[in-house]
Each structure stands twice: as structure tokens, then as C-alpha cells.
């Protein structure tokens, strides 16, 4: 950035921690998370809000962070994949993905997992058809989705039981 570039200071709460950083107003949330905060778990897979690799939670709701300006996340609680596990203990959704072999290369996985956490939380993981529909915005080229759907249904059962 040169002196003539307009900048703004944003305060973001990410995974329970407060961050303050100076950015250009046009910077996307995903780029600020990755480049300025070093949280590279969230990935960029497209430019048309289609693939979902960038999915994070904002105030507990799934959001495609490539389609949100970082400024828009100010004053809200952002949760990325890095904030999901508790130390070495994986979140039940992460565990289910591992159990069901719901990931191969892992590039779509952080977004897929965050989207799954959100859809289960909202009670939308009722059956296979509902899960497939809810995951329409998260693309994967490796798994053919079969085991991802199984993982989400399995995690939903587990989370339901432990409620």
C-alpha cells in the first residue's frame, strides 16, 4: 500500500481472540484471515462464491468468507477451522469425517466441516437428501460426496445423543 491508498483499522474477533489490523476497505474476509492473521486453514477455491472452500462461521452461522468484506465482520464473532478442535480433541464433526473417510486431499475440508457444523446446529441434517441439499454450496472433487454425507449424518446422530 502507498500513502495514497485508503486504509481502515478493523477489529476482528476470531476464534475467541481479538485482532486489530489495518486493511484496504476492499479486502475480503478470507484474505484478511489468511494473509493478515495467518489463519491459512480456510482456503480459496473460486471467485464466484460457488465452491465453499472459504466457509467460516460468523456469529455461529456459516458464511462464505470470500463474499464478505473484512469490514463487515467487525463487531461479530468469527470462527474458523482452527478454532473448532479443543486442543488435541477434535470436534465431533471432525471426528466423524475421519471415521467415515470424508476427506482425501483436504482442500475443501475446512469449508466442508464448517458448513457441516452449521447445518447440523440448525437442525438441517435430517436425512440424506436434506444433507445433500444443504451442502450444495461446498464442492469437492476427490470424494464423490458419499462419505461426506455419511460423516455429517453420523456426526448429527452423535451430537443429538449427547444433547
Choice from 4, 9, 18, 161 touching another protein (CB under 8 A): 4
d(CA 40, CA 44): 10
Q: Rank residues 17 and 128 by Cβ distance to another protein and give the closer one.
A: 128
- How big is the site for another protein, counted in residues (CB under 8 A)? 65
Q: Decide: is 68 part of the binding site for another protein (CB under 8 A).
A: no
- 17 DSSP β-pair partners: 14
Q: Decide: is 74 part of the binding site for another protein (CB under 8 A).
A: no
Which one of the spans 6-14, 45-53, 71-79, 118-126 is the region binding another protein (CB under 8 A)?
45-53
Q: Angle at CA 26, nearest 5°, toward 20 and 29? A: 55
Q: Decide: is 37 part of the binding site for another protein (CB under 8 A).
A: no
What part of residues 109-148 is at the interface with another protein (CB under 8 A)?
A: 109-110, 113, 128, 131-133, 135-148
Maximum distance among all Cα pairs of the chain, rounded to whole angstroms:
57
d(CA 159, CA 25): 39
Write out the DSSP string of 27-75. -BHHHIIIIIS--TTS----SSS-S-TTEEEETTEEEEGGGSBGGGGTT
Q: Which residues bind another protein (CB under 8 A)?
A: 1-2, 4-5, 24, 26-27, 34, 38-48, 50-51, 53, 80-82, 84-85, 88-90, 94-95, 97-99, 101, 103-110, 113, 128, 131-133, 135-150
Amino acid at each position: 500500500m502507498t500513502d495514497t491508498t485508503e486504509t481502515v483499522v478493523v477489529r476482528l474477533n476470531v476464534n475467541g481472540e481479538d485482532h486489530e489490523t489495518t486493511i484496504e476497505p476492499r479486502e475480503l474476509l478470507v484474505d484478511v484471515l489468511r494473509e493478515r492473521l495467518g489463519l491459512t486453514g480456510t482456503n480459496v477455491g473460486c471467485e464466484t462464491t460457488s465452491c465453499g472452500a472459504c466457509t467460516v462461521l460468523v456469529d455461529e452461522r456459516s458464511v462464505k468468507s470470500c463474499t464478505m468484506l473484512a469490514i463487515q465482520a467487525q463487531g461479530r464473532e468469527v470462527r474458523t477451522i482452527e478454532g473448532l478442535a479443543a486442543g488435541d480433541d477434535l470436534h465431533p464433526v471432525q471426528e466423524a469425517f475421519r471415521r467415515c473417510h470424508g476427506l482425501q486431499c483436504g482442500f475443501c475440508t475446512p469449508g466442508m466441516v464448517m458448513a457441516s457444523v452449521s447445518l447440523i446446529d440448525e437442525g438441517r441434517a435430517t436425512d440424506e437428501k436434506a444433507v445433500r441439499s444443504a451442502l450444495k454450496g461446498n464442492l469437492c472433487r476427490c470424494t464423490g460426496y458419499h462419505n461426506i454425507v455419511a460423516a455429517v449424518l453420523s456426526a448429527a446422530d452423535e451430537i443429538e445423543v449427547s444433547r
